[in-house]
Amino acid sequence: MNRKELVNQIFTKKSFLCVGLDTDIRKIPQHLLNGDNPVLTFNKAIIDATAPYCVAYKPNLAFYESLGVKGIAAFEQTVEYLKKNYPNHFIIADAKRGDIGNTSAMYARTFFEEYDIDALTVAPYMGEDSVTPFLGYEGKWVILLALTSNKGSHDFQLTEDKSGERLFEKVIRKSQNWADADNMMYVVGATQGKMFEDIRRVAPNHFLLVPGVGAQGGSLQEVCRYGIIKDCGLLVNSSRGIIYASNGEDFAEVAASKAKELQQQMEAELAKI
């Protein structure tokens, strides 16, 4: 999905919500565990319930890998289900990959050719040749970690070099030599608040994928105050706050209402642009 199509979806649906499918077998409602494929059943129900309120889904690979072969099958089936039933939703594989060129190229083929998903999160530590193999796929995106939502983001990402440039700023600045705002986004945690101003100074036009609203404590309003741009430029993710809002039989219904709540706040923010 290219940028124009993504922006169209956002303004049509009045939402820039991404629902994180961090499906943990130990957290999904008990009554699903009796079925054949509880992860897929859960995902389908969550997707059907939340699809009207979001523009993107982001399965985090860790949760699927933890179940071995069965988990990877559930991941593949989830992607298939999305592509068949919700072809206008943007699909992000949250994998935080990044390796030497030869290996990154393997990952790129897996995610962009085999699974045909729209975007992949990538870790920048290994530099240019670990990222470029993911580029050059028409309509596909790299979402590079820049300033993450966790406490550990302070350990290295904020380190200033001699000229006063912080590591996350250097990552954003350098990576703009490898890709542009049509095939690269950056991960910036919602918990970073006012730092969005600094991010927009180095990446005025890029889409940002923003995790950390909800369970991690970030504020949608603050993210928008400093981060929103003319064509929105934000995908705000919520995982646990939506998919585990209830673990009773009404889990999908409650997830829908949580997603709708966020969508309405987003509609208000989009109206201000």
Residues marked as catalytic = 96
Backbone angles phi, psi at 8, to 5 degrees: -55, -45
Q: How far is the CB of 63 from a second copy (least distance, A)?
A: 6
Q: Who contacts 193 (Cβ-Cβ below 8 Å, separation ≥6)?
A: 218, 219, 222, 223, 226
**148 sits near a second copy (criterion: CB under 8 A):** yes
Segment near a second copy (CB under 8 A); pick from 46-54, 165-173, 245-253, 260-268? 165-173
CA dist 259 → 4, 16, 31, 50, 168 (Å): 24, 11, 23, 6, 30
User: Looking at beta carbons only, is 128 or 180 nearer to a second copy?
Assistant: 128
Burial of 142 (0-12, 13-18, 19+ CB in 10 A): buried
**Given 14, 44, 96, 225, the residue binding a second copy (CB under 8 A):** 96
Compare residues 123 and 229 and give the one whose CB is closer to a second copy. 123
Site string for a second copy, 41-60 (x = CB under 8 A): -------------------x
Give how far Cα 50 sits from Cα of 56, 148, 218, 233, 259, Å. 10, 25, 21, 21, 6
Task: Pick between residue 89 and residue 97 the one whose CB is nearest to a second copy.
Answer: 97
Binding test (CB under 8 A) with a second copy, winner from 9, 78, 149, 237: 149
Residue 16 and residue 266 in contact, taking contact as beta carbons nearer than 8 Å: yes
Indicate the DSSP class of residue 109: I
Side-chain-side CA neighbours of 198 within 13 Å: the count stands at 16
Q: Select from 80, 85, 136, 161 the one that contacts a second copy (CB under 8 A).
A: 161
Quick check: 238 binds a second copy (CB under 8 A)? Answer: no
**In one letter, which amino acid is 176?**
Q
Q: Show the binding pattern over residues 101-140: x = contacts a second copy (CB under 8 A), - = does not.
A: x-xx-xx-xx---x--------xxxxxxxxx---------
Q: Hey, what are 112's tokens?
A: 């962009």
Q: Which residue ranges make up the site for a second copy (CB under 8 A)?
A: 22, 24, 60, 62-63, 65-66, 68-69, 72-73, 76, 96-101, 103-104, 106-107, 109-110, 114, 123-131, 145, 148-157, 159-162, 167, 170-171, 174, 211, 216
